[in-house]
Chains A and B, each alone.
Chain A
Amino acid sequence: MEINEILAISMFGTFILLLFTGYPVAWVLGGIAILFSAVAMLMDHWYDAFIGIDWNYVSIVIPRMWAVMTNWVLVALPMFVFMGLMLDRSGVAEDLMTNLARLFGKVRGGLAVTVTFVGLLLAASTGIIGASVVLLAVLGVPLMLREGYSKELACGTVCSTGTLGILIPPSIMLVMMGDQIGISVGDLFLGALFPGLLLAGLYVTYILGVGFLRPSAAPVSADAETVSLRVVFSVLWAVIPTAGLIIAVLGSIFFGIATPTEASGVGALGATLLALSKGRLTIQVLREVGRETTKTTAFIFALLLGATAFSLILRGLGGDELIEGALTGLPFSPTGIVICILAVTFLLGFFLDWIELTLIILPLVAPVVAALGFDLVWFTVMFAVCLQTSFLTPPVGFALFYLKGVAPEGINLGHIYRGVIPFILIQLVGLCIVFYWKGIVTWLPAAAYGP
């Protein structure tokens, strides 16, 4: 093995090790990049290793960062974050919850279905797993427990629906993924829509199934009112603004009216107007949403800058060819290789956040997958579903910890673990369906550009 390959592998190993110290990931990435370029130069100096990294090469990191600064597509990212935070503050979540609960009141498992619908509508907003899981947990779990739902069902519903936010467009994860591997963000949005809805549909089917088979786990609310026309109207009144906003954002991209960046600005304004119409928009709220947007965007871009430096040096060490060689050298068919990549992603997702995986792993594997003849939009959506599933999986799924952090008394990790197991199985079913029927992903983007 060449010295540069040993360095590339140890660079990666050092990264994984240092992650667990809990030092901020962005600085770990950037710091390792600088340290390993110094090591590579010493190796050239002492052992004539001919790696060829010098300070001139390291300085390329500046034009790379400049390229991030001038990236017009990524402008959408803070705007979607702004839109999500504003929707959270606008109070639409509570409205949706109350109204949809009335609509589904007579159905067994109706409350859990309500949580799924609210999650689906809000999923479109944040794409920040922590925020959506916490929101749903705080709104939904106490309500479900009071009605006598099983703790497992309540926890499972909240975790799985909360993580759907990273998949359902307009998700900031998809913006980042599209940018990293150079495919259209609009295509990714459209491609991820049906898989996201499919998963939500599978959740609802499961919840209704539980209500049918084990009525004690999902009882009908004692004081449920009959669904009258008035109820239906008030539900529509509550749902239309939020749903309309999301449809407007996605629709304008779908019909080519607006670029994702333009749509994100319009979405942010829409969310602000929604908050205004609910009487929740104060200067205080606007200020706080702005500050939270700054912090969220800053940590995402800190990671992006760190990862830029990291992948520059990894490439200098020949890490790209190393990964490519390792993957294509696997004794599997192309399909087997893709399954292998997804499995590794799933495992890495246990302890890495989507940002790191999108920035480090996805750009390394995407060219290989494309060379094997797979559709990159399809692969990226599969990658996204994989990540979402790994956030649900014990022992270290992020969603589970977020839920534990805000769950009411009487819910322990055991309930949460048992609760998510059926949903993990549903995820795997969904993953298989999308794997075999690629059209679920590819049809809508193709239709958008059709006649």
Chain B
Amino acid sequence: MHQDKGETPTGEVSPSLQPNPATLMDLDHFTHHTALPDTWLSRKLDSLLNIIGNLMSWTWVVLMAIIIINVVMRYLFDEGRIEFEEIQWHLYSIGWLFGLSYCFVADDHVRVDLIHDRLSLRSQAWIELLGILLLLTPFLFIVLWYSVPFILYSWQVGEVSDSPGGLPYRWIIKSVLFIGFALLALATLSRLSRVCALLFLRKSPPRATVA
């Protein structure tokens, strides 16, 4: 899953500092990830979500550029632009809402793993199964269900920004909430299939790499 975290060019490091800085950011070797078998469905969904997530990760570079442009315009031309500030939070919420599913596929959401790490793979899979069915699914359902009238209403009344010079078409950015959670639902489906494959498909032994 983490093939994108390979070696990075590190340049020369003084010989007294032997440890390779390329590994610094890579917390994976001691953050435990439940090793579940892949399924046909999960491979398809995960690669789709990874493509979207990788693409959306460029949001931050764009956001940085917008902030800089805004600052420069304000100081050099003494011109504060409300739409630039609005673009900033548009971009930021797009970034993390699309990130929800991306982070889920990578299994990077925060867990309290004091006990979790010491459980067998099967017990961990049972926790995943119950967690998905009893906790995550109701939450996803409620957010998706109630965000629809929220977006529809905005579309019907043609909602625009309250501020003069603000951005129009509020329903577009409001839809991102729905899209983010819909992608998260896909990621959940993918994970559910992997958990079920481990727990109920005994014929094919898990090909998972043990952490």
Residues on A lying within 8 angstroms of B by beta carbon are 18-28, 30-35, 58-59, 61-63, 65-66, 68-72, 74-75, 78-79, 82, 85, 88-89, 91, 93-94, 97-98, 130-131, 134-135, 138-139, 142-143, 258, 261-262, 264-266, 268-269, 272, 278-280, 282, 284-288, 290-295, 297-303, 306, 309, 351-353, 355, 396, 401-402, 405-406
Contact = CB atoms under 8 A, between A and B. Distances in A.
B169 interface: no
A298 B60 contact: no
Contacts of A27: 109, 131, 135-136, 139
Given A22-B124, A294-B95, A78 B60 contact: yes
Nearest to A73: B89
B67 A138 contact: no
Given A61-B143, A142-B18, A306-B139, A22 B68 contact: no
Contacts of B96: 78, 294, 297-298, 300-301
B23 A138 contact: yes
A66 B150 contact: yes
A352 to B, nearest CB: 7
A279 B10 CA distance: 9
Contacts of A78: 60, 63, 92, 95-96
B60 A290 contact: yes
A97 B14 CA distance: 10
Nearest to A128: B27
B138 A34 contact: yes
Contact of B139 (A79, A135, A309, A353): A309
Contacts of B30: 401-402, 405-406
A406 to B, nearest CB: 7
B150 A294 contact: no
22 contacts: A20-B114, A21-B131, A23-B130, A24-B111, A27-B136, A28-B135, A31-B136, A35-B135, A65-B143, A69-B173, A72-B88, A75-B67, A79-B63, A79-B67, A98-B17, A138-B19, A139-B21, A142-B18, A143-B17, A279-B11, A282-B8, A294-B57
A175 B145 CA distance: 31
Contact of A71 (B4, B89, B113): B89
Interface stretch (B37-45, B97-105, B202-210): B97-105
A22 B115 contact: yes
From B5, B100, B150, name the one whose CB has the most chain A CB atoms within 10 angstroms: B100
A19 B67 contact: no
A93 B16 contact: no
A62 B110 contact: no
Contact of B11 (A134, A280, A298): A280
Contacts of B89: 69-72, 75
A363 B92 CA distance: 24
Contacts of B150: 62-63, 66
A415 B126 CA distance: 36
A352 B111 CA distance: 10
A72 B63 CA distance: 12
B63 A265 contact: yes
Nearest to B9: A282
Closest 8 CB pairs of A and B: A22-B116, A31-B135, A265-B67, A298-B99, A405-B30, A30-B139, A23-B131, A24-B109
A188 B102 CA distance: 32
Contacts of A88: 24-25
Given A79-B60, A290-B58, A22 B127 contact: yes
B interface, by DSSP: helix, strand, loop or mixed? helix
Given A72-B89, A266-B68, 6 more contacts: A22-B114, A23-B130, A28-B131, A72-B88, A272-B64, A290-B61
Contact of B100 (A31, A298, A405): A298
B13 interface: yes
A93 B174 CA distance: 41
A269 to B, nearest CB: 6
Contacts of B76: none
B108 interface: yes
A20 B135 contact: no
B128 interface: yes
A278 B12 CA distance: 10
Interface in B18-52: 18-19, 21, 23-25, 27, 29-30
B139 A31 contact: yes
